[in-house]
Structure 1
Amino acid sequence: MEIQENQQPEEKTFFQSNTAKMLMVGFLTLVLLIPLFFVQNLIDERSKRKVEMQDEVTNLWGKDILFYGPTLRVPYTSYENYNVTDTKTGTTTIQRKATTNYAYFFPDELANTSNVKKNESLKRGIFNHVVFTADMNFKGSFSNPNFAKLGVTDENLQWDKAAIVVKTTNLKSIKSELKIQVNNEKFTFEPQNSDKSNYSVLATNTFNYKELSATGKINFNFSITYNGSNSIKFIPVGKVTTVSVDSDWESPSFEGSFAASDTTKSVSSKGFHADWKIMDINRTFSQQYLNALPDLDDYLFGVKLIQTVDEYQQNERASKYGFLVIGLTFLIFFLIQSISKVNIHIFQYTMIGLALIMFYTLLISITEHSSFSFAYAIAGNSVVSLITLYSISILKDRKFPMFIGIALSVLYTFIYVIIQLEDYALLVGSIGLFAILAGVMYFSRKIDWNK
């Protein structure tokens, strides 16, 4: 009589269980954050190198343009009494010391029109930096200054030594001759000793104010051509200040203490137009000052010519989704492994993870020589094709690798859309992640996790 023994199925060890495999894949995902961290450092390093290049270019071409003025400057004599004691006789006498000080008056009317043209990119190695040339015209008028408010008597005024002063930045970036027409006469601006602010001072040669203002006021008109970058800003020193800026720059940012007029402001792919009108009632400083001009930087307004998102910002945003891409890709492979009963070795997971990391190095290197969109398409297609072909050899099938290729393509497309969005990035990202979670829950609902 033969005794038949019941053959019991071989029990799986802990390391063969789904739990152990999940732990190993999760640990590998965390380990792959190390090379992803180095990729983010590489992006940061290249971004800093670009900033250094931009600083080099702007130092040569021209930086931000800030304009403060024009201002009428009239010198006056002030006297200071002091005591002098004779050491031999012990008698004390009072003597007077005369010093020359200055009174400053802002214009009644100040109108500016500026035409800002984007210039050819200045290239340093592989980096480009866009700069501009600004043609600026100023005109307006000064009324007779009221020295009574300042407590200065008429006999102490030096009317024959009056001048018009402007304060501005980047004297070396001015590319035109600086002449101003004051009523019927022309004067030339010359550099003065700079004050302790960020501005440089330009002043005309002196003139006799009373002779020049026979009509009761002084009209002025002058133009300046600047090489600049980043921004153009003004201080509204006129009782009525109007500024009009036209440019072919397609991405302006209107900044400062005063907003551009909504009725005339326009922005398109061909450029922008903006107008400002500021009256003395809109700001809290006076029209006349003694001894020195005040610091009025808090009242600056104008436009910043920006690049909405440069290539390194886009690369940085893409790299922040690296953990999500690696985690979801490993999850797809793990679910396929659990459904198809195909064993995927941890080494194969590692190769897939490194291929995902290579996406970011390809992206940043290609972006530096082309557009971000083109680089993203090349890097994404390369990595998806590589992983899809590798999956065919792992899974011994074409159905699951095709699914993996489609899933990765959708994932990279989804991330690209989020990167391009600004106002709706969080909303779209949240909806997309919810849809991904719902899909994972649906496809994993029948898997027996106890095996």
Structure 2
Amino acid sequence: MATNPISGLIPRGSLGLKLLLICLLVLVMGVPLLVVGGLVSERENRARQVTAELGAAAGGSQVLGGPMLIVPYTRSVEVTDDQGRTQRRLDRGTYVVFAETGAADTTLTVQSRRRGIYRAAIYSAATDFDAAFTPADALTGIDESYRFDWSQARVVMFVSDSRAIRNAAELRFADGSTETMEPISDLSLVPAGGVENYSRPGLFSAPSAPLPTTLQAFAAPAHLTGAPQNFTVETRLELSGAERFSVAAFAQDTAVTIRGDRRDVRAEGYFQSPDPLQTTDAGFEIAWRVPLVARGAEKAADLSSFNLGLITGRDMAVSFVSSDDVYRGVARAVAYGIMFIGIVFLATLIFEAVSGRKAHPAQYILVGLAQCVFYLLLLSLTEIIGFTTAFVIAAAATVSLLGYYAGASFRSGAIGARALAGLAVLYGAMYVLMTLEDFAMLAGSIVAFVVIAATMIATRQIDWYGRGTTPASNGQT
């Protein structure tokens, strides 16, 4: 009868062969983990969709553009036709003049609006604007062919969605007079023909960000006569929105302060605040200041070639933790799932070596599936009660189950207790790893190295071929 030559090299009961089998089982456990990962992505997309629907009903992500001065003009220019003849043409257009200084002070009142298990951060924003204009200085150096009609000058503002405005915005001038701002349809915030570059004699600029086309403008008369006088205006705008709030750098020198009653907030936008976002028991507060040189736009521009929507991408913003953010911790946990399953399998193999008792491959599979179910528990509970509490509950249930199963399988209460303690430490390390977003790779590498080093030290005297009796198994139960 033929014999297998390999059987003489690796005996049937060798731990080395068992280790190779366990490595294969760890890879097999990647299949259910992939299923769990796909489920996390599906739930995250669903949460994002529902959040967007809730947010759209409240006004969506709002961008506010503070007071700016728009002045109509006529301009006589010479053009040459196809036959080389020169003719004079009268062009009509609008110039925008940005305030010399502008400030916006916003107070946000935030609440969570729910649909089933999903939620969105809905806010009410009250913003006080003030702006000081010096039109003559801003237009210094403009081609003399421009003839401005200052009597028709208007102060214009814009928002992303005017349906969410909750008050009748009024301009207040320094002399105490007021003007109610009204929607305007005769001003296009995007140049005709989709021009994305701004140019005039001696100047040229091209925006690097996509240009919005959904801005909604409203304006009021600027109370100017036949000359460009300096003036100041104030106004208060109340509106609602969702998830993100931002103020564009609407003046040559813009100062913005945003405060609110929530703490789960982060600072965003094109410009960075010189000071970090401050959180207190009452909420948060953050301030920015953007000078002309940092703003990257001129003091004044011709709207026939300048996209006013360009400045919406140069904003100062805060955003609130959205519904899909709760899935990031779960996704990170699943990404390291193979490593933690491998650690548990390796620990089980060491228990085999030191106790002299054997665990069947089916038992390894059950242990691996129990850990995969942990991620399902974590996902389903996180959607309802948040990541931290969900992790504690799911980890406590899984650790208790695996500790009990280890004690019952090896018929040893001591091994069950050691497994319970070891798994508690392991899942504690997993939680730390999941919360260290910026240092997750470093923490994971350290955990993996420590586990491998501990395993090598603990198994340094094991007879992996199984030809003899391992020192660790003599007289141990």
Aligned with residue 50 of structure 2, among 48, 53, 58: 53
Pairwise mapping of residues 26-425 of structure 1 onto structure 2 (< 5 A)?
26-79=23-76, 98-119=90-111, 121-145=112-136, 149-152=141-144, 156-183=147-174, 184-192=177-185, 194-196=188-190, 197-198=211-212, 199-206=214-221, 209-210=224-225, 216-262=229-275, 266-292=278-304, 293-295=306-308, 296-297=310-311, 300-307=314-321, 310-425=325-440
* Structure 1 stretch displaced more, 144-153 or 355-364: 144-153
Structure 1: give runs of 5+ residues left out of the alignment: 1-10, 85-92
Do the aligned partners of residues 291 and 378 (structure 1) sit closer, same or farther apart at CA in structure 2, a change above 3 Å counting?
closer
Identity over aligned pairs, percent: 24
The one-letter code of the counterpart of 1:327 is G
The one-letter code of the counterpart of 2:107 is N
- The answer to whether the 8 Å contact 2:77/2:145 transfers is no
Structure 2: give runs of 5+ residues left out of the alignment: 1-7, 191-210, 467-477
TM-score (norm 1): 0.85
* Structure 1 stretch displaced more, 132-141 or 305-314: 305-314
Aligned pair count?
A: 429
| Whole-angstrom distance in 2 between the partners of 1:144 and 1:23 | 79
TM-score (norm 2): 0.81
- The answer to whether the 8 Å contact 1:261/1:274 transfers is no
- The answer to whether the 8 Å contact 1:194/1:201 transfers is no
| Whole-angstrom distance in 2 between the partners of 1:219 and 1:13 | 90
| Whole-angstrom distance in 1 between the partners of 2:303 and 2:290 | 26
| Whole-angstrom distance in 2 between the partners of 1:83 and 1:241 | 42
Instruction: Point out which structure has higher relative CO (alpha carbons under 8 A, 6+ apart).
Output: 2
Query: SS of 2:428's equivalent?
Result: helix
- The answer to whether the 8 Å contact 2:120/2:242 transfers is no
| Whole-angstrom distance in 2 between the partners of 1:444 and 1:66 | 62
Deviation at 1:34, TM superposition (A): 0.5
The one-letter code of the counterpart of 1:145 is A
Deviation at 1:102, TM superposition (A): 1.7
Q: CA offsets, 1:277-312, max 9 Å, x none?
A: 233244443212224444534861312224399321
Root-mean-square deviation over aligned CA pairs: 3.0
Do the aligned partners of residues 388 and 56 (structure 1) sit closer, same or farther apart at CA in structure 2, a change above 3 Å counting?
same
| Whole-angstrom distance in 1 between the partners of 2:10 and 2:133 | 94
Query: SS of 2:12's equivalent?
Result: helix
| Whole-angstrom distance in 2 between the partners of 1:110 and 1:206 | 19
Deviation at 1:433, TM superposition (A): 3.1
Query: SS of 2:374's equivalent?
Result: helix
* Structure 1 stretch displaced more, 40-49 or 168-177: 168-177
The one-letter code of the counterpart of 2:375 is Y
| Whole-angstrom distance in 2 between the partners of 1:142 and 1:74 | 13
Larger Rg: 1
- The answer to whether the 8 Å contact 2:374/2:398 transfers is yes
